[in-house]
Structure 1
Amino acid sequence: MKLLAFLACIVQTCLAANSTFINPVLPGWHSDPSCIYHSASATFFCATSTFITFPGIPIYASKDLINWKLISHVWNRESQLPGVVCEYISGGGGGQTLTGLVGVLFRTTDPFDEPEWSDPVVFYPGKIDPDLFWDDDGKLYVATQSVILQELDLATGELSQPPIPLWNGTGGVWPEGPHLYRKDGWYYLLIAEGGTALNHAITISRSRNLKGPYEAYRGNPILTNRKTQEYFQTVGHGDLFQDAKGNWWGMCLATRGGPEWKTYPMGREAVLFPVTWEKDAWPVLQPVRGRMSGWERPPPSRQIPGHGLWSRDPDVYNFTTAGEPIPRNLVYWRVPRPGAITTTAKGLQMIPSRNNVTGQMLPNKPTPELSGQRGMAFTGRRQTDTLFAFSVDLVGFRPTTTGSEAGVTVFLTQLNHVDLGVVLLAGTNGSAALSFRFRTEATIPGPPQAAIPVPTAWKGETIRFQVSTPNATHYELSASLASDPTASKMIFGTAWAGLVSGATGPFTGVLLGVYATCNGAGSGEECLNGGDKAYWQRWRYAGEGQEVAMGVVV
């Protein structure tokens, strides 16, 4: 009985020390997380990929691994990367021309102060996914896709030649996303392979020498959900780090959609998992699930300095003060035109772009200014909840030019979005009438486009646009009078979330936002007579539920 009591005490102590949490810890589009623990400030930091959006490379800080604050963006001004529209593969502008596959290295002494991020040191690795590794002798190396290693000069960007091949994985396609760790006299090499779809996985190898040869772990893949019925799929592209007590953790990307992988509008999200890593042993990574249990986490805390927003908090923005900063969690699709989106006393002012949200991308009639590759008048925030309510008020929109439009969008890419706007349409008798227009753009058939005249009593009034989720797989788009949102509510369409899942945007996730366009009227990049400005106020977003397993919402 004494032995049983002793064992029971051990079990109770272990359970008391464990913590439980819900994934994803960085919900919404947060792919390719790369994380560290900074012991001097007792703070965790994570960066994620942003691809085509601006500002780019968000930096999140946390004390407890659950509450994450968006403290800055590394790429926060166009002058850092002039002419960039996507991955920095090639581009130019501002007297600078870069060709080939380009790497950029930014530096700061204060990640909480956004302007402190430097202009980049440019280097030419020839491969994607560069990862930095400082060896014990202080030398800096960069490992990239394939996986190859080169020494990097931090001041000049010069790379040692020739590149040294380290390890090409276990045979899966696209060995990439390398991370090197020095532990117990070993160099451990963690990579992603299998592509970023359902075969995605994390594999590992190690060597006594940085430059190899590397021995693969016999139990590879060390982490994956492929060929399972788990709700979290595409698990991979991970990073490992320690906390203040020396416990190991990992963050990687995952997609909530189950093995059918058809409805996953939030794209690749960042998930947390405990890691056990004994001396001279291979690490053991706990499989990714919606509900997790692991090491005791630091106590809940929001004692993070600087300006920024918490990733799980609602949006409550009124946009009634001229010159107030645009909230840090709002992003653009590529770099916006200077002055196109500003805060004024009338609201968030948008000067319309000639291109609409889709862009007139016609291969037989190239029109760069209409393609959406320059200055699209759009801004949005990540969808971070399975169930949510988003609303925003359109004030002072009185268009005079046919085709002028302002509205809300559930936006994945220019080829995958669902819109509801107010547009001035030409009538059969030569007159123009203000109408609501609901439409979908997708690579698969969606609901038909519909245009309904704006009620006479609504003209000149503030209109409240709303996007909500009646269930975990659909969006409902509606509008109402801001003065009477309940009684006047009109539902214009319901769209399946599969329309904005993957397809042409497998690396991104849904952005919920607003746009303004003159739908081609004008010339060059300017709308006719500058276009009809749109003003937005009372921006609200609130999460109402997270699906953590198929059909299980918390």
Structure 2
Amino acid sequence: MRYHNPVLKGFYPDPSVCCANGSYYMVCSSFQYFPGVPLFESRDLVNWSQIGHVLTRPSQVSLEQVPASGGIFAPTIRYLAGRFYMVTTNATTGENFYVYTDDIRGEWSDPVTVDQDGIDPSLFFEAGRAYFMSNGTDDAGVSGVVQCEIDLTTGKKLSPSVCIWQGSGGRFLESPHLYRIGDWYYLTAAEGGTEYGHMITYARSASLWGPFTGYPRNPVLTNRDKAPCIIQGIGHGDLVQDPHGAWHILSLGFRQQELWMAFHHLGREVFLTPVTFGADGWFTAGTDGTTAECYDMDGDFTQKPLPARSFAHRDWYKEWCFLRHPRQECYALSQDSALLHGTAVTLDEPGSPTFLGLRQQEFRGTFRCRVELDRGEAGLTCYMSEQEHYEVALCRRDAGCTALCRLNIGGVHQVVKEVPLSGSSALLVIRMEPTQYHFYAVTEAGEQYLGTGQSKYLSSEISSPFTGVMLGLYAVGENTARFTELSCVYREDCITDGTALQGALSAPVPAPA
């Protein structure tokens, strides 16, 4: 059967995967968003369903005043003797910790800390022992991939930390994972930075303590020199074996807005790339060492399209998320509506504004919701960071209610257009295309075009956070806003060659009325 990359779309970076009881489980980074570490399940490695989050209690993770791209970095999920472990870094506090559960759909434990620096931690289990690694500094002051044995109950180090590999020479060595496959220990890593120079490298050894010998043709997988190609930034991978015995790398990557537009705003997504082991024990990956848009793989599956989202088809605590720790009294979430109570905290600051967000998962689509407001401001946002976000909103003052489009770029606010309304409610609409967002308000008087914002200003190349755009509902001011008739629908383009892709992503949407 054929599948198309990415296999999980939108801002779900740094994937890690394990297999248990015939299913696969994957976790991704969450940064400043709460609940933390989204958790997915799959039977075929292609279709992923979110079953919850790992960090669901404020006691598990500190996110107070965490700026965009702070907080929870690259998690790793592993399974041992009926128990799941998730290890990660709070990059803002510098804490490496893990949590565990015996019920993948239940609550996870409070954190167990490990006294070792670095980020992107991982766990390896063998012969009843547990090993912790990160890209940090060992006890002798040597930096690289650092490993130590730990007590899995307490997190206490049972051996000195030792640097076991320093990579292939690329900058920003990160994302170490250790595997025992056949006679070899394989150590994979990412180098080059999580941007256009990103790559996956690896080494192997007859001992888990090394010495590790780098693959002679490193990097084993990268799209850094692949052009023209929408898919870039491939790196940060985790090896996994499918139900038919074949190997793959589950990695992050991103899609540019267009072939010749080096901007990405959907965030780093999840890609699946085949791996082949040679007779000499070394493995290769992908299409001549690159990740392509589609592959064939054994299995009887059908890749499912993105579902339309509405208030009738949702679980608030599976896919929706908040900025940092929410004030729960500000949210009343029901089957057909969301009641949001605004505060003085705005989207411009690293606090916890009244905000509910979904990740934008495709370039083209429509996000809309009816908003009714008693005072203050409420609406829809395309949110990248405190400094970069776009809104279409209702604003109610003493003189009456208006609908507006506002762009916040680099902390500079511009109200593109503001129009008066006869009532206090409107259907607010965001129409998405690869390079632009169009904003509208629909009332009984018809559709009002309010403005356009370029998506490149919400990209990692300009905005700088390495998260991705969130489509959110928000309220600000001491007010109450009621959101109903939510709809989020995408148009997907499955395209297998650069020429078709260039034409499809360059096609304009209808001109605003």
TM-score bucket (shorter structure) = 0.7 to 0.9
Correspondent of 2:430 among 467, 471, 483: 467
Contact 2:407/2:416 (8 A) holds in 1: no
Contact 2:311/2:337 (8 A) holds in 1: no
Per the alignment, residue 378 of structure 2 pairs with 406
Corresponding letter in the other structure for 2:46: I
Give the 3-state SS of the residue equivalent to 1:498 in structure 2: helix
Give the 3-state SS of the residue equivalent to 1:31 in structure 2: coil
Per the alignment, residue 20 of structure 1 pairs with 2
Give the 3-state SS of the residue equivalent to 2:128 in structure 1: coil
Indicate how the Cα distance of structure 1 residues 82 and 191 shifts in structure 2: closer, same or farther if over 3 A, else same.
Answer: closer
Contact 2:347/2:386 (8 A) holds in 1: yes
Task: Note the C-alpha offset of 1:274.
Answer: 1.1
1:29-87 deviation line (CA, Å, top 9, x unaligned): 1100101222x2x2121111111111111111111222211001000121222555442
1:314-334 deviation line (CA, Å, top 9, x unaligned): 102159xxxx96252111111
After superposition, residues 470-481 of structure 1 pair within 5 angstroms as 471-481=433-443
Indicate how the Cα distance of structure 1 residues 444 and 117 shifts in structure 2: closer, same or farther if over 3 A, else same.
Answer: closer
Per the alignment, residue 307 of structure 1 pairs with none
Per the alignment, residue 128 of structure 2 pairs with 138
Corresponding letter in the other structure for 1:241: V
Per the alignment, residue 440 of structure 1 pairs with 407
Distance in 2 between residues matched to 1:290 and 1:421, nearest whole Å: 40
Per the alignment, residue 43 of structure 1 pairs with 23
Per the alignment, residue 205 of structure 2 pairs with 207
The structure with the largest alpha-carbon Rg is 1
Correspondent of 1:354 among 338, 344, 347: 344
Task: Note the C-alpha offset of 1:129.
Answer: 0.5
Contact 1:468/1:476 (8 A) holds in 2: yes
Corresponding letter in the other structure for 1:273: T
Distance in 2 between residues matched to 1:138 and 1:278, nearest whole Å: 30
Per the alignment, residue 76 of structure 2 pairs with none
Task: Note the C-alpha offset of 1:295.
Answer: 2.7
Indicate how the Cα distance of structure 1 residues 100 and 125 shifts in structure 2: closer, same or farther if over 3 A, else same.
Answer: farther
Which has the larger displacement, 282-291 or 498-507? 282-291
Per the alignment, residue 317 of structure 1 pairs with 311
Per the alignment, residue 543 of structure 1 pairs with 490
Per the alignment, residue 265 of structure 1 pairs with 265
Correspondent of 1:124 among 115, 131, 152: 115
Distance in 2 between residues matched to 1:445 and 1:186, nearest whole Å: 55
Structure 2: give runs of 5+ residues left out of the alignment. 74-90, 136-143, 506-513
Distance in 2 between residues matched to 1:100 and 1:78, nearest whole Å: 14
Contact 2:222/2:291 (8 A) holds in 1: no
Contact 2:277/2:284 (8 A) holds in 1: yes
Per the alignment, residue 510 of structure 2 pairs with none
1:102-160 deviation line (CA, Å, top 9, x unaligned): 112111112123xx21212122321100001112x221111101211011211111124
Give the 3-state SS of the residue equivalent to 2:457 in structure 1: helix
Task: Note the C-alpha offset of 1:177.
Answer: 0.2
Distance in 2 between residues matched to 1:196 and 1:99, nearest whole Å: 18
Per the alignment, residue 419 of structure 1 pairs with 391
Give the 3-state SS of the residue equivalent to 2:485 in structure 1: strand
Contact 1:407/1:516 (8 A) holds in 2: yes
Per the alignment, residue 173 of structure 2 pairs with 175
Per the alignment, residue 370 of structure 1 pairs with none
Per the alignment, residue 291 of structure 1 pairs with 293
Task: Note the C-alpha offset of 1:413.
Answer: 0.9
Task: Note the C-alpha offset of 1:356.
Answer: 1.6
Distance in 2 between residues matched to 1:358 and 1:100, nearest whole Å: 22
Distance in 1 between residues matched to 2:238 and 2:335, nearest whole Å: 44
How many residues align? The count is 468
Contact 1:217/1:282 (8 A) holds in 2: yes
Indicate how the Cα distance of structure 1 residues 333 and 225 shifts in structure 2: closer, same or farther if over 3 A, else same.
Answer: same
Task: Note the C-alpha offset of 1:192.
Answer: 0.1
Give the 3-state SS of the residue equivalent to 2:361 in structure 1: coil
TM-score (norm 2): 0.85
Indicate how the Cα distance of structure 1 residues 318 and 61 shifts in structure 2: closer, same or farther if over 3 A, else same.
Answer: closer
After superposition, residues 226-237 of structure 1 pair within 5 angstroms as 226-229=224-227, 230-237=229-236
Contact 2:338/2:484 (8 A) holds in 1: yes
Distance in 1 between residues matched to 2:100 and 2:310, nearest whole Å: 32
Corresponding letter in the other structure for 1:119: D
Corresponding letter in the other structure for 2:24: F
Indicate how the Cα distance of structure 1 residues 50 and 552 shifts in structure 2: closer, same or farther if over 3 A, else same.
Answer: farther
Distance in 2 between residues matched to 1:76 and 1:108, nearest whole Å: 13
Distance in 1 between residues matched to 2:493 and 2:104, nearest whole Å: 30
Correspondent of 1:72 among 52, 57, 77: 52
Distance in 2 between residues matched to 1:164 and 1:265, nearest whole Å: 38
Corresponding letter in the other structure for 1:24: P
Distance in 2 between residues matched to 1:100 and 1:52, nearest whole Å: 12
Contact 2:323/2:355 (8 A) holds in 1: yes
Contact 1:389/1:543 (8 A) holds in 2: yes
Per the alignment, residue 99 of structure 2 pairs with 106
Indicate how the Cα distance of structure 1 residues 330 and 83 shifts in structure 2: closer, same or farther if over 3 A, else same.
Answer: closer
Give the 3-state SS of the residue equivalent to 1:339 in structure 2: helix
Structure 1: give runs of 5+ residues left out of the alignment. 1-18, 90-97, 302-309, 360-372, 426-430, 519-530
Indicate how the Cα distance of structure 1 residues 286 and 99 shifts in structure 2: closer, same or farther if over 3 A, else same.
Answer: closer
Task: Note the C-alpha offset of 1:247.
Answer: 0.7
Percent identity over the alignment is: 29
